[in-house]
Amino acid sequence: MRQVMDELGYPTDLEDAAPFPIDEFIAKTTQWLQKAIGKPSPEEKPTIDQNPGGVAMISGGKPEGYYNQIIKSMNHIARIGKQEGATHVWAS
């Protein structure tokens, strides 16, 4: 979630962030999607970060178009929420 919010230009310290106004969120996601027409987000390969004697941090990667798909879904959910009376979007 943090990476998606960062991609949209929102802060990534979501625990400390106030809810975002829904109209602003819809506008940002719509703008991102319009700029990305015909340009799928690039694939991110899996990575493993490990220090000697430490834990291994594994990122599973992301397929091509991941951000496009997720941001489109978030935009759709926000629009439904607005129709139902929601005024803000909260992320964690």
The predicted structure's pLDDT at residue 53: 85
44 near 66, Cβ under 8 Å? yes
Angle at 17 between CA 14 and CA 18, to 5 degrees: 135
Angle subtended by helix axes 66-83 and 22-35, to nearest 10: 150
Q: What is the pLDDT of residues 37-56, one digit of tens each?
A: 999 999 999 999 988 888 98
The model's pTM is 0.85
